Amino acid sequence: MQRPRRLRRTRALRALTRETYLAPEHFILPLFVHEGQGDLPISTMPGVCRHDLPGLLARIQEAVDLGIGSVVLFGIPDHKDALGQESRSEEGVVQRAIRSVRARFPELTIIADTCLCEYTDHGHCGPLVPDSRGGWTVDNDAALPLLAATAVSQARAGADIVAPSAMMDGQVGAIRAALDQAGFGHIPIMAYAVKYASAFYGPFREAAGSAPSVGDRASYQMDPAGGYREAIREAQLDVDEGADFLMVKPALAYLDVLRVVRDTFDLPLVAYNVSGEYAMLKAAAQAGMLDERRSVLETLGSLRRAGADAIMTYHALDAARWLREDREATRPVRTTEVAER
């Protein structure tokens, strides 16, 4: 009789035959930096703060000590306006943060989220123009040069990767051309290629103060019920425009999309385990409904199994800590050591 259970009998056998694994170098830690003083907690994301510069550097030190090699930075400016000017200012909140982090951690991979919604007073990812129905819509082509200028300013500050998340058509091509022209041909683009208009961004928008003041993002982010053809088309366009990484976002309700993108394209693939997905497990754990450690590691593991190379996750610090503990606890020990335990 075939007995698959033979390979599950011991910890070491299970580890030997495991098909996917998690490690801290797979994680990208998202961090918020604001212009005020102190670390301000985000009520919908227990354990996550809006950092000031010293707080940001301290948090990154923790991450680096746990073996995490990459962070993605989101800036929250004091001043927001219709065009999101602060997104591309040399003295902007994220540009200053990138410079300090770069100076302190020369080897860290610094990813800059390239978008306007944290910087516009209306919370949309590009400038608004009146539409034909008496409402407002985002002007795609007017957003492109603003996004390109934002990416160049981030690269100039010292970002290793820019990550455009605005879901404007042509944004990857516009950013690639601008980076090349400014002498940043070596800076890769991590394209939020397949990004859905999701309810799971709610806590992030509280954190960044970027909830749209009029309308929603459904006219540029993807329809959650959309299928694989649309996902492939979005990813293909970003590949053609020069993307170096592809991303699927959110992650959990889109594991099937991750798998399809993995099987269709050969670029490195990132899964963004977004704020609402984090909040969901945190809330359940705090209510005593789930074992946080096991449910988080199982969840992150599912993203690797679905095909993600890298995972953006607010759980990165906890997960890296748990993985280290597991590693220490699962080393095969001598009989004398077993007795000592």
Q: Catalytic residues, which ones?
A: 195, 249
Q: What's 190's DSSP letter?
A: E
Choose which of 275, 300, 310, 316 interacts with ligand PBG (CB under 6 A). Answer: 275
Calpha distance 24→221 (Å, rounded): 30
**Cβ distance to ligand PBG smaller for residue 244 or 326:** 244
User: Binding of ligand PBG at residue 138 (CB under 6 A)?
Assistant: no
Choose which of 94, 110, 125, 271 interacts with ligand PBG (CB under 6 A). Answer: 125
**Cβ distance to ligand PBG smaller for residue 261 or 274:** 274
Site for ligand PBG in 195-214 (CB under 6 A): 201, 204-205
Site for ligand PBG in 146-175 (CB under 6 A): 165-166
Pick the piece of the chain touching ligand PBG (CB under 6 A) from 110-118, 170-178, 231-239, 289-297. 110-118
Report angle CA 81, 97, 274 to the nearest 5 degrees: 75
Q: How far is the CB of 334 from ligand PBG (least distance, A)?
A: 45
Q: Which residues pair with 161 in a beta bridge?
A: 111
User: Binding of ligand PBG at residue 313 (CB under 6 A)?
Assistant: no
Q: Which residues pair with 111 in a beta bridge?
A: 72, 161
**Cβ distance to ligand PBG smaller for residue 32 or 322:** 32
User: Binding of ligand PBG at residue 113 (CB under 6 A)?
Assistant: yes
**Cβ distance to ligand PBG smaller for residue 113 or 241:** 113
Calpha distance 78→172 (Å, rounded): 28
User: Binding of ligand PBG at residue 50 (CB under 6 A)?
Assistant: no
User: Binding of ligand PBG at residue 115 (CB under 6 A)?
Assistant: yes
Label residues 288-317 b or e (16+ Cβ within 10 Å = b).
eebebbebbbebbbbbbebbbebbbbbbbb
Calpha distance 140→143 (Å, rounded): 5
Q: How many residues bind ligand PBG (CB under 6 A)?
A: 11
The two most distant CA atoms of the chain are separated, in Å, by 79
Which tokens is 53 given?
Answer: 């510069």
Pick the piece of the chain touching ligand PBG (CB under 6 A) from 35-43, 109-117, 154-162, 320-328. 109-117
Choose which of 63, 110, 112, 117 interacts with ligand PBG (CB under 6 A). Answer: 117
Q: Which residues pair with 71 in a beta bridge?
A: 29, 110
Q: Which residues pair with 164 in a beta bridge?
A: 114
Calpha distance 261→119 (Å, rounded): 31
Residues that bind ligand PBG (CB under 6 A): 113, 115, 117, 125, 165-166, 201, 204-205, 274-275
